[in-house]
Structure 1
Amino acid sequence: MFSKEELLRYNRHVIMPDFGMAAQEKLKNARVLVVGAGGLGSPLLLYLAAAGVGHIGIIDADIVEDSNLHRQVLFGVEELGTAKVEAAKKRLLSLNPYIEIEVYQILFTSANALEIAHDYDVIADGTDNFPTRYLVNDVSVLLDKPNVYASIYQFEGHVSVFNYVNAAGERGPNYRDLYPNPPEAGAVPNCAEAGVLGVLPGIIGSLQALEVIKVITGVGEPLSGRFYTFDALSFESRTFKLKRDPANPLNGENPSINELIDYEHFCGIRKQAAPLKEISAAEFQDWQDEGVEMEIIDVREPHEFELVNIGGTLIPLAEISDKGDKVARDKKVVLICKSGVRSVRAIEILQEKYGFNNLYNLKGGLINLILEADLDLPTY
């Protein structure tokens, strides 16, 4: 049942002959889990909330940073330093108070994914890394739920609908039918490393929201079995046909995967020759105050280093494998990046290739240090 206020709000939906009250009721009763509240998640969440999706789950472990705001239009400067999921919930409920929002300020992992996703009807993948993309895909297949997928890179965007069962009972392909195996670790940078045109997530995230609405309501033909690409520079788009692969390890003719796996290892990210050692922002400050002899290695890109840095030696992650001789062995070495992710990878590379045992990752990266220490530096 809809209140008078809801009927007024959704009037432009209800009066469409091919949509009507029946489709709006399906939206109200739907439960959608959005994995990632960043560039894609921002327009996706705004339009799902505005459309009247009755229950939306949001999972994201990050905080709002200043560098997010050129593309993550869900947030404003007043949310800097706050959890993305909480800022998103506040904004969405101000847009539509007739829906329910559930938030998870944690990483989506193989340990919690099945439990979190179990009670949702549709999963929408707004992530920017391969381990989570394969995790979202496998969860959707194992739980028999459609996965509305989107991705962005610099000037290009992709959209598709995976694991969708049509009215005839025919199941469409999933992500592993398109990409059975991930690229070599580090071969494809994410948006933090390669950049993205700010308006692109708005375009692609809106298309992703459209596909979620189509999947829920049954109105139109979802992008199942098709893969849409958009080039913002040429304004050209193409739609490729996809087919199920009989060799798919999840649901092919001889499936070999029936549970979630270690996706970091599958994507070649965890190859540590020694355990990872980390220090907090507070411990890092203590080391500086106590005069502990240490070296700081910054593995960000040169343009990031120019924007803000705390000194140290700049060795971008892409170059770290060839510059082990530039890293000290006779003192503590702290590796830093923006959020503490690239620096972990740098440590893994150095430990595996050169056998270092004196490396420390700055947990939470430069952003966390600036916020925790209240440094007079921008959170770019």
Structure 2
Amino acid sequence: MATAFPPLVEPGPELTLPERERYARHLILRDFGPEAQRRVRAARVLVVGAGGLGSPLLSYLAAAGVGHLTVVDDDVVEVSNLHRQVIHGSSTLGMPKAESAARRLADLTDLVEVDAKVERLDPSNVREYVAACDVVVDGSDNFATRYLVADACEIEGTPLVWGTLDRYRAQVAVFWSAPPAGYEPVSLRDVYPQPPAPGTVPSCGEAGILGALTGQVGSLMAMQALWLITGVAEPVLGRLVLIDSLSTSQRSLRVTADPDRKRATALAPAVGGESCEVSLAGTPAGDGSAVTEIGVAEVSRRLGSPGTVLLDVREAGERAVAAIEPSIWVPLGELGAALDDPTSPLSRALGAGEHVVVYCKAGARSANAAKQMIDRGADAERVESMAGGIDAWSDEIDPTLPRY
């Protein structure tokens, strides 16, 4: 059968009767048919992450009949996941996401082998996982893992289906350092050479994410994996797909390899950190500035006592979910204006010599805010960042506060 793209996987044995029944709507598709389905069944796919993107990815790849799926995720299901991570449910709260996903897929189909790995990818294990599969699909939610997986794929020559989400927008691409003849190699670092500095890009827990968008993007990523496996259509290799749900628009940009960039030959130590940075209490925050962090237990002891003010620098939507009171609220983007206004509650607190403890969701934005205050003349001994943010407060002080 002629293909639009050189198929990655050779066809497996003839389909069984149960397989022909289950995949009948694939088999009657022109240009797909039994041969493509046999390629899908013979494929081995690694899915990184069983969250927002991993939910539709795993569901549709399993439903399509991918013979072997490995899912790697070390997180557990939380209630705030359920508006977008639809592979999980209320009955699996607290369960490792990889195991919850595997349980759902076992109910969806008994024709697919699912290997659930409750662990985090790191330089010691990622190449082994990547080398053992035909395609990697990255649905992870932090920069350290994204770049680690991309570098491992570049070294091993394994195609990578990549996607990322930001509030109402998303991007999807296929990267491959060793594509078929006639196609130019391109990798993540050709497009985005380095991850952003920790704390400069908010996580979905800080900025929010439209739940339905994860379904759209994860399904598109699953489709790219199927095109790589079968060759039925050309994947978006060499293109960056940009999706904007607010305008219901989608466009693509051509991307090429950077001729001046050295190809990855070894894995560097993980950089970029989690999308929510959490530093250790009592240590300088972020980039080694003079900001001091304070643990939630000490904040709880001081809260409400004279001489200490709590400053919340999160966004309005976050504060609507949960807040630590009493506190002053100044979103990080409005901090400069509050410091310039001598009548603002923050300026009055600083002028009165009170200790200001800054908090956010996980600690990165509060450290940023504290540094800004110190850089603009506040006494470094009277401005502190609360380590771990409201997440740590919920864990250690007040478990009744909603998590998000």
Shorter-chain TM-score range: 0.7 to 0.9
- Cα displacement (A) at 1:152: 1.9
Shift of residue 246, structure 1, vs aligned partner: 0.6
Matched, 1:215 2:228: yes
Alignment of 1:87-166 (within 5 A): 87-163=100-176, 165-166=178-179
2:211 aligned counterpart, secondary structure: coil
Q: Indicate which of 387, 390, 393 corresponds to 1:361.
A: 387
| In the alignment, structure 1 residue 302 sits paired with structure 2 residue 324 | no
1:91: how far off?
Answer: 1.0
AA of the residue aligned to 1:235: T
Structure 2 residue 188 is matched with structure 1 residue 175? yes
- Spell out, residue by residue over 1:208-257, the C-alpha distance to the aligned partner (whole angstroms, 9 max, x if none): 10001111122211111111112222222212212221112326xxxxx5
CA shift, 1:51, in A, is 0.5
Give 1:333 shift. Answer: 6.8
Cα displacement string for residues 39-90 of structure 1 (whole angstroms, at most 9, x for unaligned residues): 2111111101111112212222322223222222212222233322221111
Q: Secondary structure at the match of 2:45?
A: strand
Residue identity opposite 1:304 in structure 2: E
| Deviations 1:151-186, CA, capped at 9 Å, x for gaps | 222222221110164442644211111122334444
In structure 2, relative to structure 1, the CA distance for the partners of 1:316 and 1:133 (3 Å cut) is farther
**Matched residues in 1 for 2:73 and 2:291: separation?**
26
Question: Quick one: which of 249, 264, 271 aligns to 2:287?
Answer: 271
1:200 is the counterpart of 2:216: no
- Whole-Å separation in 1 of the counterparts to 2:274 and 2:213: 29
Letter in 1 for 2:154: V
Secondary structure of the residue that 1:50 maps to in structure 2? helix
Structure 1 position 374, deviation (Å) = 8.8
Match of 2:269?
Answer: 261
C-alpha contact (below 8 Å) 2:291/2:370 kept by paired residues: no
Match of 1:254 in 2: none
Once the two structures are superposed, the pairs formed by residues 1-380 of structure 1 within 5 Å of their partners are 1=13, 2-163=15-176, 165-168=178-181, 170-250=183-263, 258-264=266-272, 271-272=287-288, 284=297, 300-311=314-325, 313=327, 337=361, 340=362, 343=363, 346-347=366-367, 361-362=387-388, 366=390, 370=394, 375-380=399-404
SS at match of 1:75: coil
2: CA distance, partners of 1:237 / 1:44:
19
Contact 2:145–2:270 (CA under 8 A) maintained in structure 1? no
Query: Which moves more between the two structures, 311-320 or 73-82?
Result: 311-320
In the aligned structure 2, how far is the partner of 1:333 from the partner of 1:190?
22
TM-score normalised by length of structure 1: 0.78
Checking the alignment, whether the CA contact within 8 Å between 1:139 and 1:260 is kept in structure 2 is no
Kept after mapping to 1: 8 A contact 2:168/2:246: yes
Tell me how far apart the structure 1 counterparts of residues 185 and 335 of structure 2 sit (CA, whole Å): 41
What is the number of residues matched between the two proteins?
364
Name stretches of at least 5 consecutive residues in structure 1 with no aligned partner. Answer: 252-256
Moved more, 50-59 or 207-216: 50-59
Distance 2:125 2:291 in 1: 23
Q: Percent of aligned positions with the same letter in both sequences?
A: 37
Counterparts of 1:332 and 1:107 in 2: how far apart (Å)? 36
Instruction: Report the secondary structure of 1:106's partner residue.
Output: coil
Q: After superposing the two structures, state which structure 1 stretch, 179-188 or 228-237, moved more.
A: 179-188
Aligned mates of 1:352, 1:233 — CA distance in 2: 33
1:45 aligned counterpart, secondary structure: helix
Structure 2 CA distance, aligned partners of 1:152 and 1:174?
19
Post-superposition Cα deviations, 1:86-136, rounded to whole Å, max 9, x if no partner, equal 211111111112212222333333343223333122111213333332222
Q: Which amino acid aligns with 2:251?
A: R
Q: Which runs of 5+ in 2 are unaligned?
A: 1-12, 278-285, 340-345, 375-379
Once the two structures are TM-superposed, the CA of residue 261 in structure 1 deviates from its matched residue by 3.2
Instruction: Work out whether residues 61 and 83 of structure 1, in 8 Å CA contact, stay in contact via their aligned partners in 2.
Output: yes
Report deviation, 1:33: 1.4
Distance 2:205 2:163 in 1: 17
TM-score (norm 2): 0.74
CA contact (8 A) 1:271 1:348 kept: no
CA change 1:123–1:278 in 2 (3 A) is farther
Shift of 1:15: 2.8
One-letter identity of the residue aligned with 2:319 = F
